[in-house]
Homo-oligomer: A and B are copies of this chain.
Amino acid sequence: MQPIALLFALLCFEAKADDGYRLWLKYDPLQDASKRASYSKSINSVYASQESSTISAAVEELQMGLKGLLGKNITLVKSMDSKRGNIVLKIENNEKLSEEGYRIFSQNGNFYISSKSEKGLLYGSYEFLRQVQTLQDLSKINIESNPKIKLRLLNHWDNPNGTIERGYAGASLWKWHELPYVIDPRYKDYARANASIGINGTVLNNVNASARFMTAEYLEKVEALAKVFRPYQIKVFLSVRFSAPRNVGGLPTADPLDPQVRQWWKDKAKEIYSIIPDFGGFVVKANSEGEPGPQDYNRTHVDGANMLAEALEPFNGIVMWRAFVYKADPNGDRTKEAYYEFKPFDGQFHKNVIVQVKNGPLDFQPREPFHPLFGAMPQTPLMMEFQLTQEYLGFATHLVYEAPMFKEVLDADTYAKGKGSTVAKVIDGSLHNYRFSAICGVANTGSDRNWTGHPIGQVNWYTLGRLAWDYSLSSEQIAEEWIKMTLTTQPKAVATIKDMMLKSREVMVNYMTPLGLHHLMGEGIHYGPQPWLDKSGRPDWTSTYYHRADTIGLGFNRSATGSNAVGLYAPEIQAVWGSEENCPLEFLLWFHHVRWDKKLPTGKSLWDELCFRYYGGAEEVKKMQEQWIPIKPFIDKEIFTDVLGRLQIQHREAVWWRDACVLYFQTFSKKPIPEPLEKPKTTLEELKKLVLIYQMR
């Protein structure tokens, strides 16, 4: 064997297994030979009408991607020598396009990617590659696309010591001790992945923020990352600690009305922008779960947010002020508190403030109704905070495709301006003519080689970007394109994986918290079932606060006869959710305390329905394992084995959830587990011990 052939052979040997690092930008040779031939024939070179670092990034990606997919060198030409087979990147005016939008079309044997700006060329180039990756017909391609939401962000809950709050895929991507001099090649791949799905901003650090990010020492490190992200049109943002003027500024107070404090933030903003000219802005978690905030000085959220907003305004920075606040009140209802705390401030926030609201009023549960603030603050831009990382969704060992969960909320109707006033229209700004629109996802990324722990967890990152760009995309469509780009294009395998993904969220709801149950997870780490948890640091961190099980029934009465949280929604919604009879089963126990023997529309009693859902959920995971096995020939072996192992764990944990919840609630219902369901093999006592193991230091 000759040395050079040998080298190839070796590398092939090593590269055989797919470790998932390349995400959906895999660019392996297309398996469909006729498609590959057809694409190859029609694409020879790329031509860009202008130069910039972003256009270079787009060209580089097209070259790398097409070389991989088609096995062909796509040359960058300085002029359109050849009359056909060019990909032409062209900046031109087009009234139908927003600044980031693009048009892709074919004309006279060339493909045009056009936009008003380099941004659209970048996004259009990734779209072009996606068309090839998913085997679309390019001959009559004609796509016009504008993002529906302007700021499309990841929020990293990454701590400066390298840990990630609620992260299940290794350590932080950001190596703060190595920055600014060591630039991990991964930073660029992170930027590519984000750009490919339209994400245009990243909040680098945990909302439980370290003040150290407000020092020159760290801003230099932040700029080193910003520099890598810049060609990919990704702005950096930072979470700020409200007390930073005290922590690192040497001031005696952080009172937002104190002139010195206000000046400190103004100077700090100036300093930041002198280092990072395109800095995006701040995210703030204030007076929430022990974080400092304006209320420490008897000031309001408005006082705090506006002070920061005024400091950032000269530089076009924005403040994302989180609405995730709640006080410990054993007799209250945590799901109402953000509404009461924020709604009165509607219209009082400075023009570059956006209030960041989680999808539901509690905290990233498997299912929640949409947050009542959506539709309730017409004069204050609200943005959506989704959670990609599976804090309450089984960590990185449960296969959960989140698009249906996100879509459920985006499509929900607030009735704020009559029928059709969906949450999506609130956050895209169209319903209330907001000045801003934004959406963010709490990242599920970490330093694990495959980024997200669960190989299929990658799709949730992908989904956030795709939905933020265009929330009208269906869950099915997003799943299908992701599968084809990432796992396989073999039609049966695509169909099977898609089926597994599409049902996965409902399956999880069933084995964890069916019928509107919520917050039954293990204390602190939110792992495993602990519905019996009745003491914790705060009453609203227990499970019993939420499920209210007693000998009569189950569920939190949030109807007019209870906490009346339902009263925070529009009358049209109250009429449905507020009535035990009309309430959809998925929210039943969220809004109502329901008798164990109450006959549900399914024909079963509450108790029986509960049992069948828990058992059904666990059984479905078993079925997913069975579905996965025949896929083996069509996907990479390493990914196949990894997912199979995770499905085994998921099944074990689904049974754990089922048994724990059924046995525990049975102590109240006093009813037998209905036939033909088999009784759990473990005892409640054993299960109570099991969850404690995972809570030990």
Contacts and interface: CB of A to CB of B under 8 A. Distances in A.
Contacts of A19: 185
Contact of A15 (B15, B160, B218, B447): B15
A629 interface: no
A170 B171 contact: yes
Given A15-B15, A210-B696, A696-B210, A181 B447 contact: no
Interface residues of A, number: 67
Contacts of A67: 10, 13
Given A10-B67, A29-B6, A446-B171, A693 B646 contact: no
A178 interface: yes
A217 B9 CA distance: 43
A87 interface: no
Nearest to A248: B693
A17 interface: yes
A646 B217 contact: no
A177 B248 contact: no
Number of copies: 2
A448 B184 CA distance: 11
A161 B690 CA distance: 16
A571 interface: no
Interface string A664-691: 0000000000000000000000000010
A690 B217 contact: yes
A15 B17 contact: no
Interface string A150-189: 0000000001111100001011000001100111010000
A616 interface: no
Given A7-B29, A29-B6, A170-B170, A449 B449 contact: yes
B3 A178 contact: no
A170 B162 contact: yes
A212 B694 contact: yes
A697 interface: yes
Given A29-B7, A162-B170, A170-B170, A177 B211 contact: no
A346 interface: no
A22 to B, nearest CB: 8
A41 to B, nearest CB: 14
Q: Which of A11, A33, A68, A648 has the most CB of B within 10 A?
A: A11
Interface string A627-664: 00000000000100110011011001000000000000
Given A177-B397, A178-B645, A447-B447, A11 B6 contact: no
B178 A397 contact: yes
A1 B29 CA distance: 12
A171 B447 CA distance: 8
A215 interface: yes
Contacts of A84: none
A396 interface: yes
A183 B645 contact: yes
A8 B10 contact: no
A361 to B, nearest CB: 28
Contacts of A242: none
Contact of A396 (B29, B177, B648, B690): B177
A642 B181 CA distance: 9
A105 to B, nearest CB: 29
A457 to B, nearest CB: 12
B17 A3 contact: no
A369 interface: no
B185 A638 contact: yes
A271 to B, nearest CB: 15
Contacts of A95: none
A88 to B, nearest CB: 24
A43 to B, nearest CB: 14
B178 A17 contact: no
Contact of A8 (B11, B163, B181): B11
A34 B346 CA distance: 79
A646 B182 contact: yes
Interface in A197-217: 210-212, 215, 217
B649 A178 contact: yes
A268 interface: no
A395 interface: yes
A135 to B, nearest CB: 16
A71 interface: yes
B397 A217 contact: no
A17 B646 contact: no
Q: Which of A527, A645, A690 has the most CB of B within 10 A?
A: A645
A7 B1 contact: no
Interface string A1-43: 1010011111111110101000000011100010000000000
Contact of A447 (B68, B217, B248, B448): B448
Q: Which 8 A-B pairs have the closest CB atoms?
A: A6-B71, A182-B645, A8-B8, A181-B645, A181-B648, A170-B171, A171-B171, A11-B15
Given A10-B68, A217-B693, 11 more contacts: A6-B71, A7-B12, A7-B71, A8-B11, A11-B15, A177-B395, A178-B645, A178-B646, A181-B652, A215-B693, A217-B690
Interface of A: 1, 3, 6-15, 17, 19, 27-29, 33, 67-68, 71-72, 159-163, 168, 170-171, 177-178, 181-183, 185, 210-212, 215, 217-218, 247-248, 395-397, 446-449, 453, 525, 527, 638, 641-642, 645-646, 648-649, 652, 690, 693-694, 696-697
5 contacts: A1-B71, A3-B29, A178-B646, A210-B697, A212-B693
